[in-house]
Amino acid sequence: MSGDMNLTRADVASWDETDSLASFRDEFLLPDGVVYFDGNSLGALPRKTPERVRALVEDEWGQDLIRSWNQHEWIHFPRRVGDQVASLIGAKPGEVIAADTTSINLFKLLAAGVQLRPERRVIVSEKENFPSDLYIAQGLAGLTGTHELRLVDRSELQAAIDDDVAIVSLTHVDFRTGELHDMASLTKHAHAHGATILWDLSHSGGALPVRLNNAGADFAVGCGYKYLNGGPGAPAYLFVAERHQDDIQPPLSGWMGHEAPFAFDTDFRPAPGIERQLCGTPSVLAMAALEVGVEILTRADIDRVREKSQRMGDLFLQLVDEQCDGLGLTAACPRDSEARGSQVSLRHAESYPIMQALVARGVIGDFRSPDVLRFGLTPLYLRFVDVWDGVATLKEILETEAFRRPEFQNRQLVT
């Protein structure tokens, strides 16, 4: 640390006064007394969502009934929301569609990658990738019976991508440590070996600038309920680069991906373009909520969002250094904000009860096995003073050892 005087809460509050994103906070409904560091797991509720969902249920469903598919364009939800998401992740309109879950979309696109390289037998991923991403790849390999999942440490990735690889599957920002991959250079490396690459944007889409087409990415998937604020279980999205779209025979060939769903043909004929990636009927109630969340992000300058998120992360780590010195915390995330996504991760031997004690005081982050305290940074509705207050509460819990109380020791199903 430098020899500068330590920051005060007033210093930090003055940053909020000049923050150009500050007004976005009013677009969300946040409970009083809560400091919310879990928008990377479940985004906050947009103020407009309850009315939009009410109108959809009571007016569109209740009054207009089945006519709404045409009248209120329910049938266009996947494409319309997909085009909005495309603008957040460096894709073109027509390259992204909102549908299904991240896990299901992973299956579709890993299968697509394997199809595009029929002579190759290897899928590469990282051991530390999000479990569902690994489980889906395992399921696909089991189904084809001929593919091998090559799982390596982060440091061995480049070497693991050789001329046997059909597809590389990576998460842009590591869910545990917040480490950010260099999308452009890994994509280039995969292509140099003739492989395709799939990026999971669950922890980067809507959180930082993503430039899929600049990087030359082949495929991507991402989550609707984290940084996109689409609500619990919101539909996910998927991206297929335009050059590949018509070469993929969808493995989940449902009627919504048919060229003419209402022709009720006997045989599957895939729709042209991204639409063939649809499977069944869109989840209309959930799409309406997702659209509200995504629309807010389309009005925010993502470069400013990134800048504020980096500054918040740096502040968080600086305050931990200044105020929690000797209390057993170490950084699990990169200290260099260029190498870090939109979260701060800390390690402590007692992370689980510490997070329970924080949540009991209204400071909501989450615990990730085995020992990580995770704090998501969502610049549209978090203030710099929230970071101050969060770290002050953490310091108090560690100093008083309040986390040792018995009620904080029981592990719940969802952590």
Ligand X SMILES: *Cc1c(COP(=O)(O)O)cnc(C)c1O
CB of 236 to ligand X, least distance (A): 6
**Positions in 92-111 near ligand X (CB under 6 A):** 101-103
Distance CA 195, CA 218 (A): 10
Query: CB atoms < 10 A from the CB of 311, how many?
Result: 17
CA 111 and chain centroid, separation: 21
CB of 101 to ligand X, least distance (A): 4
Active site residue 200: yes
Distance CA 221, CA 96 (A): 9
Beta bridge partners of 173: 180
Nearest to 124 by CA among 97, 153, 96, 146: 153
Q: Which of 374, 375, 386, 403 is catalytic?
A: 374
Residue 200 in the binding site for ligand X (CB under 6 A): yes
Site size for ligand X (CB under 6 A): 13
Q: Is the CB of 130 or the CB of 316 nearer to ligand X?
A: 130
Q: Is the CB of 206 or the CB of 353 nearer to ligand X?
A: 206
Q: Is the CB of 157 or the CB of 319 nearer to ligand X?
A: 157
List, in order, residues 6 or more apart from 223 with CB less than 8 Å away.
Answer: 102, 201, 202, 205, 234, 236
CB of 72 to ligand X, least distance (A): 26
Active site residue 368: no
Active site residue 386: no
Residue 130 in the binding site for ligand X (CB under 6 A): yes
208: helix, coil or strand?
A: coil
Q: Is the CB of 68 or the CB of 129 nearer to ligand X?
A: 129
**Positions in 220-249 near ligand X (CB under 6 A):** 223, 236
First to last CA, the chain: 33
Q: Which stretch binds ligand X (CB under 6 A): 129-137, 179-187, 303-311, 356-364?
A: 129-137
Active site residue 54: no
Q: Which stretch binds ligand X (CB under 6 A): 45-53, 186-194, 200-208, 304-312?
A: 200-208
Residue 132 in the binding site for ligand X (CB under 6 A): yes
Distance CA 55, CA 3 (A): 57
- Phi then psi for residue 358, to 5 deg, are -65, -45
Cα dihedral 304/307/312/317 (nearest 10): 170
**Positions in 137-196 near ligand X (CB under 6 A):** 171, 175
**For the chain, how many residues are written?**
415
Q: Which residues of 172-198 are buried (b: 16+ CB within 10 A; e: fewer)?
A: bbbbbbbbbbebeebbebbbeeebbbb
Residue 87 in the binding site for ligand X (CB under 6 A): no
Q: Which of 200, 218, 366, 386 is catalytic?
A: 200
Active site residue 32: no
Residue 320 in the binding site for ligand X (CB under 6 A): no
Residue 133 in the binding site for ligand X (CB under 6 A): yes
Find where tokens 């970071």 sit.
387
In the list 203, 258, 276, 374, the residue contacting ligand X (rule: CB under 6 A) is 203
CB of 105 to ligand X, least distance (A): 8
Query: Element (H or E) spanning 345, and its range?
Result: strand 343-347
CB of 365 to ligand X, least distance (A): 15
CB of 132 to ligand X, least distance (A): 5
Nearest to 248 by CA among 143, 123, 114: 114
Distance CA 139, CA 265 (A): 30
Which residues make up the interface to ligand X (CB under 6 A)? Answer: 101-103, 130, 132-133, 171, 175, 200, 202-203, 223, 236
Catalytic residues: 130, 200, 225-226, 374
